[in-house]
Amino acid sequence: GAVVSQHPSRVICKSGTSVKIECRSLDFQATTMFWYRQFPKQSLMLMATSNEGSKATYEQGVEKDKFLINHASLTLSTLTVTSAHPEDSSFYICSASLLANEKLFFGSGTQLSVL
């Protein structure tokens, strides 16, 4: 199947700092990538849809100024958590699909811990 690479896998940072997470599609071009967040023992919650060359579409309740998404190329999307706080500590996962309405391939996820 398609490969989606995500890093870093784990980040520990101080409150108030910004953290950038990268998501790359290694063997295919992804015009659309998705960013999910998962709290312990909870489901994956879609945060935003990242579209190459245009602004991301954010889900209701997700602050676009706090979670900056850049999809500058067909193989790279980045999520920057700005001024991170302890409540932002979570497992962040990116994903992409080969075709619209098709299965998603997930990156390995990033465990963010904000102290």
Partner 1 sequence: QKEVEQNSGPLSVPEGAIASLNCTYSDRGSQSFFWYRQYSGKSPELIMSIYSNGDKEDGRFTAQLNKASQYVSLLIRDSQPSDSATYLCAVNQGGGADGLTFGKGTHLIIQP
Query: For the purposes of burial, counting CB atoms within 10 Å of the CB of 54, is it exposed (0-12), middle (13-18) or buried (19 or more)?
Result: exposed
90-96 and 110-114 as β-strands: parallel, antiparallel, unpaired? antiparallel
Closest approach, Cβ 45 to partner 1, in A, equals: 8
Asked if 5 interacts with partner 1 (CB under 8 A), we say no
Nearer to partner 1, 17 or 50 (CB): 50
Shortest distance, position 69 Cβ to partner 1, whole Å: 13
> Which is nearest to 20 in space by CA: 73, 75, 92?
92
Contacts with partner 1, residue ranges (CB under 8 A):
1, 6, 31-32, 34, 36, 42-46, 49, 91, 93, 97, 100-109, 111
